[in-house]
Structure formats: structure tokens, C-alpha cells
Amino acid sequence: MAAKPQARSVARLAAIQALYQMEAAQAGVDTVVAEFTTYRFERDLEGQTLAVADEAFFAEIVRGIVAEQGGVDRAIARRLATGWKLDRIDATLRATLRAGVYELMHRPDVPTEVVIDEYVEIAKSFFEGPEPGFVNGALDAIAHDERV
């Protein structure tokens, strides 16, 4: 039996899903955080217990991105190719970048390598093409901007 994912890794993945849901359904942050906390974490699904998430960390990431979205989006925009706008990027990829950048900017206790590795792995779970490499390059560049 494979080891269960770490609670923060689960929280990061859930944060991407929550951000996507907020954008797709035009749902508010408090509604989505409450839904995840009530219905998705540590619940039984078809006889199997779902992975344990660091719920406080999840809520911090999601609420923090909403509160700091202007600065997070500007940090991303500075590293996009000329002529590209953040809204042209796939919604899941955009959520992944926002979460990674939020951690780089507001969680100095989390090592840069951990942030980048975690969000590249999340990107790999959603995409089979060049997107994980894009996440890696973008977060690495933004880390140099924000953490030097």
C-alpha cells in the first residue's frame, strides 16, 4: 500500500481545486472553504477514507490568494511572455501559479524548493504537456524576484 500524501500536499491540491471552483462557479471564498471543510476533507468515499489535509493551511492559501490577488497576479504577469495576459492561461494552471506565488510571497517558512516541487507535481496531475515545465520556470523566476 502506498504511503498517504502529506497533509500539506493534500491541502495544496485542494486549494487548486477550490480556486478553480470559485472561478468557474463564481462562488465566494467563505462558501468554498466551508464546503471543502464540511464535505471533502477526512471523509469516507465509497468505502475508502480520503487523504487527511492540513485544513488550516488550505484555508490560509485560498483566503490569502483572494486577499492578495492583485500582488500575486502582478508577480505572475511580470514573468509572462510579452503579449500574454494571465486570463489567457488555463484556469487550473492559473490557480496553480497563484497558489505557488502566494506561498513564495507570504510563506517564507516554506523552502523555495518545496513550493516549486509541490506545484510542479500538482501540475503533472492535471497536465501531460508542457504545463508542468511552465510552472517550474515561472515559479523559479518569481522566487528570484520575491525571495532574493
pLDDT of amino acid 1: 39
Cα 89 to Cα 92: distance, rounded to the nearest angstrom: 8
pTM of the model: 0.89
pLDDT of amino acid 4: 44
pLDDT of amino acid 94: 96
Domains and CATH numbers, the chain: 7-147 (1.10.940.10)
Question: Which amino acid type is present at position 113?
Answer: E
Q: How far is CA 131 from CA 8, 14, 87, in A?
A: 22, 19, 15
pLDDT of amino acid 53: 86
pLDDT of amino acid 43: 61
pLDDT of amino acid 45: 55
Name residues of the chain where pLDDT drops below 70. 1-5, 42-51, 148
CA angle 134, 117, 13 (to 5 degrees): 90
pLDDT of amino acid 82: 83
Q: Can you spell out the DSSP letters for 70-98?
A: HHHHHHHHTTSPTT--GGGS-HHHHHHHH
CA–chain centroid gap for 64, Å, is 11
pLDDT of amino acid 71: 97
